[in-house]
Amino acid sequence: MKNIFEANDVNIAKAADVIKNGGLVAMPTETVYGLGANVYDAKAVAKIFEAKRRPNFDPLISHIADFDAIPEYVETDERIMALAKRFWPGPFTMVMKRKGENAGVDLACSGLPTATVRMPNHPVALSLIRKSGVPIVAPSANLFKTVSPTTAQHVYDSLGEKVDMILDGGACKVGVESTILDVSSKQPVLLRAGGTPLEDIEEFLGEKVLISHGEPDRPSAPGQLLRHYAPGHKLRINAENPMENEFYIGFGDRDGDLNLSSKGNLCEAAANLFAYLRLADKMAGNKSLAMAPIPENGLGLAINDRIKRAAHD
């Protein structure tokens, strides 16, 4: 595959040139692979929406590599900087008030008065951002509403030659997207469960965080649409046991055709989730899919969010 490149220093430098020249680069992060462009280049940002077939009312996350980049186009305060220093780099995203005017940022933010920003915990992504010299806006590198990619091959299978370069940094360790916390007002609000557990955020803040599922018709952050992350086969969730003609994805003691984690480990289950949904799609044939119940604590909150959207009709 001519557009998959080993993520070494030479190829990261080439990818940075692609970003600077308005192209698209798929980069590995600790969560999933992202489809990246220069956030300040409106034509490049538009290419992301086009390649993914994503509606432009669904905002994108901007990725930064250094704390100094935060105040460039968002408003910060002591709480925001404290959260950043505690959870970045990592699978944690904040929604903050925008400042300044830029057509690319406006498109990435779907015209909203807020921007969605995170610092990924992956050496390839951080190196690419620094070499590019700009924040990289990057949703998951797959067709809209389909299963998110956790390997370079997943990206190629979904987007093919629509991406100028795919940097292969191996399989993603976390495997589900970042947690999104809205800190644009006094009350912090969880907009998307993800790789940073809600319990950790509440413990750090010393307060309860409101949970919002957003408005699916006018999302304020990625991952709020009712149907998302969907496999090709119909999916039944919270299945205690498989029914006849179902391909069963187990968890813990509930074994099946695949098992997200036979040890009942939620970190392992999250890392396997999207890869196993893709694998189940290939293996199921004429069967539909079913998935065992997943606990709602820790990373289970993020896993259940994804599978509910994947199963939504």
Q: From 211, 243, 269, give the residue that closes a domain.
A: 211
CA distances from 43 to 20, 21, 50, 140, 183 (A): 12, 11, 10, 18, 29
H or E stretch at 276: helix 266-283
* Nearest-angstrom CA–CA distance, 151 and 27: 10
Q: Give the contacts of 40 (CB within 8 A, at least 6 positions apart).
A: 102, 104, 105, 134, 135
Residue with tokens 């709020």: 224
Q: Residue 139: its pLDDT value, please?
A: 96
Residue owning tokens 């969010």 = 305
Residue 229, domain member (yes or no): no
- Statement to judge: residues 73 and 200 lie in one domain: yes
Q: Per residue in 145-192, pLDDT tens?
A: 899 999 999 999 999 999 999 999 999 999 999 999 999 999 999 999
Last residue of a domain, one of 166, 195, 211: 211
Same domain, 122 and 174: yes
Backbone region of residue 135 per phi and psi (left: phi > 0; alpha: psi in -120 to 50; beta: other values)? beta
Instruction: Provide the pLDDT for residue 223.
Output: 77
Domain count, the chain: 2
Neighbours of 255 (CB within 10 A): 12
Which pair of structure tokens corresponds to residue 167? 């940097």
Judge whether 292 and 256 are in contact, CB under 8 Å. yes
Indicate if 102 and 205 belong to the same structural domain.
Answer: yes
CB 6 within 8 A of CB 168: yes
Cβ-based burial of 171 (10 A; exposed 0-12, middle 13-18, buried ≥19): middle
The pLDDT value recorded for residue 191 is 93
For residues 83 and 164, membership in a common domain is answered with yes
Within 10 Å of residue 210's Cβ, how many Cβ atoms?
A: 11
227 lies in a domain?
no
Task: Verify that 22 and 68 share a domain, yes or no.
Answer: yes
Domain with 38 in it: what CATH number?
3.90.870.10
125 and 250 assigned to the same domain: no
Q: Is there a single domain that holds both residue 196 and residue 291?
A: no
In a shared domain, residues 10 and 70: yes
Considering the domain architecture, whether residues 185 and 77 belong to the same structural domain is answered as yes
**216 domain-assigned:** no
Residues 250, 169 share a domain:
no
Residue 141 lies in a domain: yes
Beta strands in the chain (DSSP E): 4-6, 25-27, 34-38, 61-63, 92-97, 114-118, 136-137, 165-168, 179-182, 189-192, 210-211, 235-236, 246-250, 258-259, 288-291
pTM: 0.91
Query: 177, 211, 245 — which closes off a domain?
Result: 211
For residues 131 and 18, membership in a common domain is answered with: yes
Q: Residue 218 falls within a domain, yes or no?
A: no
Q: Residue 63: what pLDDT?
A: 98
User: Is residue 221 situated within a structural domain?
Assistant: no
Residues 184 and 44 in one domain: yes
Residue span of the structural domain in which 104 resides:
4-211
Q: Supply the pLDDT for residue 1.
A: 56
294 vs 210: CA distance, rounded Å: 22
Q: Identify the CATH number of the domain in which residue 297 sits.
A: 3.40.50.11030
Query: Is residue 55 assigned to a domain?
Result: yes
**Residue 228 domain-assigned (yes or no):** no
- pLDDT tens, residue order, the chain (313 aa): 579 999 999 999 999 999 999 999 999 999 999 999 999 999 999 999 999 999 888 899 999 999 999 988 899 999 999 999 999 999 999 999 999 889 999 999 999 999 999 999 999 999 999 999 999 999 999 999 899 999 999 999 999 999 999 999 999 999 999 999 999 999 999 999 999 999 999 999 999 999 986 666 677 778 777 777 889 999 999 999 999 999 999 999 999 999 999 999 999 999 999 999 999 999 999 999 999 999 999 999 999 999 998 998 7
